[in-house]
Every structure is written in C-alpha cells, then in structure tokens.
Structure 1
Amino acid sequence: MTEKEFHSLLLEMIKRDHHPQKTRIIDLLERSSLSCDKTEKFTYRKWNHYKEYIYLTFEPSDLSEALQFKDYIAKLIEKIYPVNDEYSYELFGVEFKPGRVSGSEFTSQEIHFDDIQNQILEEIRKSKYTIWIAMAWFTNKILYDALVERKKHGVNVQIVLDDNDRNTNAPFRLENEFETYRVNIQSLYPNIMHDKFCIIDLATVVHGTFNWTNAANYNRETISIDKNSTTARTFADEFIKLKTRVYG
C-alpha cells in the first residue's frame, strides 16, 4: 500500500465512523500529508520486524487543532496498518509534525446521487476562505442561509447566476448579502447561463446537475465533489470568465 493509498483509506474509515467531530477531522486530514519512515531498528516484539513510524504533516495553522484528535487518529491508523508476520515492518509510532503541505497533496472525487443538499451543506460549512458559486437557478433558502452563516465567519462569497425570472422571484435577494453577478448570455438565440458549480477555498469543487432549488431535491440529480486544487483552479478560471461577462 502506498502512502497516498494509506492516507485515502484513513479518510475513508473516518467518513464511515461516527465521531462527533468527524467533519472537522476530515477537513484537517485532507489538508495534511502522510509519510512513512521505515527504519533499520528491530522492534524486539515480533521476529525480524523493523520499526516503522507514520508521520502526518499539517500546516502550522492546523497542527494545534489536529493534535486534539491525535489519539483517535492513531488508533485508526493502528487498525488499518497492514499485518505481515514475515520478515517485515511493524508500526512503532504515529507522530504529528508541522510543515508545508502542497495544495495538490491529497485528491479525491466523490459522486453522490442521494441526499445531495446535505452533501453541499457539509462542504459549505467546512469553508474557511472563499465560496464562489455559478448557478443557473438559485432559490433554495436553506443553502442561502448556510452561505450567510459562513459570511459571518469572514468567508468571501461571490455568486454568478443567470438573470431570469425564477432567480428574480427567489425568497431572498442575493445582492443584499453577497457580491452577485446576474448574467445574460446572448448569441443568435436567447441562452441561459447553465453552469452548476461551487468552488470552496480554491481546493474543492462541487458540480453536477443539481440546481440550488427546492425542486432539485425531488429530481434524479448527481453531484461530484472533487478535492483537487488543479481542478478547483480550472473552475475558478471559468467563474472569472462568467463574472467578467457582466462588463463585456
């Protein structure tokens, strides 16, 4: 098992667990990196087994919070550490340390067909810096309220949406809370801005068929949650293009 595979398996175990702070733990681990140190020192516990240490590296701003969950994470690592009774390695310790972690260190993709609104809410609540949304239709008050709450915590929220009657008649006025751009796309025929994506902290993208409306909860919809900084930057470039069309 590679280090990246081990990291991914650890996250999958936490997602399936019932820890009351699992959303926050996952958020921290997704911004960490995992490495293994295979030493040449015998453990003297199993025959012909060397000591191996697993290190989780966190940005300094995340480390103190991550240490609060160290015992829980270390127990899960021990549970999934591969057992080999032959001439091999034995887990001898789990250490957390500060360091710089590349934005593309961890990547994942999750596809969801059910409970989509709650999946989006979970990602919104994990935001720390920015939320950029491009949406054909946005009338869902629950998602709107979640964005207002993140704004209160200093998160920058910007929204591009199609300038249509449904959005105009929403039960809220986006411009009252957020930097909002209503887009008209003109060609030989009238068109709508049909994008449906949300970029969070330039690291996560939520995209698919799901419009942010109440009706979408009753349709057969799909979203993908991609945690990949390269993908996020690609969507961010498109967001900027949509946003600047207002002036062009």
Structure 2
Amino acid sequence: MDEIIEFLKSSFKTKEFYSRDKQTLKNLIKAKKPSNHELNVLRSQFFELAQNDSSDAETIRLVTWLEEINKCLLPVKDKNEVENRCYFSPGDDCENAIVSCIRNAKHSIKICVFTISENVITNEIIAAKKRGVSVTIITDNDKLNDKGSDIRWLADEEVRIRIDESSSHMHHKFCIVDREILLTGSYNWTKSAADRNQENLLVTEDPKMVKAYLKEFEKLWDVFVDF
C-alpha cells in the first residue's frame, strides 16, 4: 500500500493524471492486490487530502459531494460474499499483510500470538495505539523472556497485555482488526518467519469466523493475567 500511496501523493502535487499515470496505478494495484477494505481506506485518505488542500468552502463542499457520490456508485457488496486472501513465507507477503491491516485499523486491534519479535510489526502496533486505536494483546508467558521479544517494549508503550500462567504454551497466532477482519495461520510475528520458515497466513472477513475468534479472544482475556 505504501507504494500506491506515495505514487498518488506525487500525482496530487502536480494535480495531473495522464493515461500513463492511470496505467501505472492499475499495475501497482494489480501487483499489490489490496483488499476491498484497503481500497476503501485509500479512497477516504485521498478525498481527505483533497479537502485539506482546498482553500474555499465551495471547493470543500464539491469534494465532499464527490466523495459521497463515489461511495454510492461503488459496487454493493453481497452480504453473502466473503473476501479471503492467503499469503505464504519465506518472503515479505505475510508481514506486509499484517502491517497493512494494522496500519488501516480504525477502532480496535486484538492480537493473540505466541510471540512478537519483528520490530516492523511492533512499530506499526505502537503507531496504531498513538493514533487512538484500541490495542490489546494476549501472548505466551514463557516466550516474552526470549532475547529479542518485543512484549516488554510494547508494555512500556502502555499497550494492554495479558499472559497465561500455565506451564503449557499459549500458541495461537491470530489477530482481529475492527471486529471485521481476521488474520490467522501458522505465521509467527517474527523475523525468522519471514526470512526462513515455511508459514501461512489467511486474512478473511467471514463474519462467522471473525465472531468465533472474537469469542476465543474474549474468553482468554478474561482468564489470563495482566503483564
């Protein structure tokens, strides 16, 4: 998403958008494969950019009108249609999907993972909290003592964290964004998962799946202890 955003910002500075620019944007979207949710966030960001750049009330009203008309003209999503995306490692695809979902969160991020030691993801979590998103984390009590674990760093940033107290492991790897998007799979939130391991990540907006994982998260949150 970052490459798409930077390209559009560059175009916005010149206020020009030629056929070659349109093709470049289409190619970027095809390569990056943003979800419908990410595209909607992107649209909102650039309408807001246009509004902020407007110097008179009439132009602001025009941009606002265009934004609302655009929303109405977008295809209506079938309530039975579910968007699913899958990613695999080694490689950056899984990490990029996690970062994108966290970056686009508006209200809440509920993370339930075995460990977090990838600084790129940790920085994104902290940035989300600083912009007012509710962030809660459940993690394993043993892994937080590993060298490179970012859990204490996140706690220092006043992210709410709870841990298990058992001798067995809290081995889940899932995350729920805005109570609408579920990320789950074998992928650990670590650098080795991206660089070396054979891992998978599923991102789904299936309401039944999201609801089931929310229930599990809330169950664990109630029985685990504050870190």
- TM-score category (smaller protein): 0.5 to 0.7
Q: Cα RMSD (Å) of the superposition?
A: 3.6
Shift of residue 191 of structure 1?
Answer: 1.1
User: What does 1:92-241 align with in structure 2 at a 5 Å threshold?
Assistant: 96=73, 106-114=81-89, 115-167=93-145, 169=147, 170-171=149-150, 172-177=152-157, 178-185=159-166, 190-217=167-194, 218-241=196-219
Give the direction of change, closer, same or farther, for the CA distance of 1:26–1:204 in structure 2 (3 Å limit): closer
Which stretches in structure 2 are left out of the alignment for 5+ residues?
1-24, 42-62
Deviations 1:184-229 (A, max 9, x none): 23xxxx3101100000001000100011111111201001001123
Higher helix fraction: Structure 1 or Structure 2?
Answer: 2
Which stretches in structure 1 are left out of the alignment for 5+ residues?
1-14, 31-62, 74-94
Task: Identify which of structures 1 and 2 has the higher relative contact order when contacts are C-alpha pairs closer than 8 Å and 6+ apart.
Answer: 2
Shift of residue 230 of structure 1?
Answer: 2.5
Shift of residue 23 of structure 1?
Answer: 4.8
Show the counterpart of 2:19: none
The reply to whether residue 27 of structure 1 matches residue 4 of structure 2 is: no
Shift of residue 22 of structure 1?
Answer: 8.2
Shift of residue 139 of structure 1?
Answer: 1.4
Q: Percent identity?
A: 23
For 1:234 and 1:157, how far apart are their aligned partners in 2? Answer: 19
- Number of matched residues? 171
For 2:39 and 2:65, how far apart are their aligned partners in 1? Answer: 8
State the structure with more CA Rg: 1
Give the direction of change, closer, same or farther, for the CA distance of 1:65–1:229 in structure 2 (3 Å limit): farther
Deviations 1:15-68 (A, max 9, x none): 97425x9859743559xxxxxxxxxxxxxxxxxxxxxxxxxxxxxxxx959838
Give the direction of change, closer, same or farther, for the CA distance of 1:69–1:211 in structure 2 (3 Å limit): farther
- TM-score when normalising by structure 1: 0.58
Give the direction of change, closer, same or farther, for the CA distance of 1:167–1:232 in structure 2 (3 Å limit): farther
SS class of match (2:132): coil
For 2:66 and 2:214, how far apart are their aligned partners in 1? Answer: 29
CA contact (8 A) 1:139 1:167 kept: no
Which residue identity lines up with residue 112 of structure 1 in the other structure? Y
CA contact (8 A) 1:208 1:223 kept: yes
User: What does 1:65-104 align with in structure 2 at a 5 Å threshold?
Assistant: 67=67, 70=70, 96=73
For 2:184 and 2:33, how far apart are their aligned partners in 1? Answer: 23
User: What does 1:32-47 align with in structure 2 at a 5 Å threshold?
Assistant: none
Shift of residue 107 of structure 1?
Answer: 1.7
For 2:83 and 2:35, how far apart are their aligned partners in 1? Answer: 17
SS class of match (1:242): helix
Stretch deviating more after TM superposition (105-114 or 164-173) = 164-173
CA contact (8 A) 2:126 2:154 kept: no
Which residue identity lines up with residue 204 of structure 1 in the other structure? I
SS class of match (2:73): strand
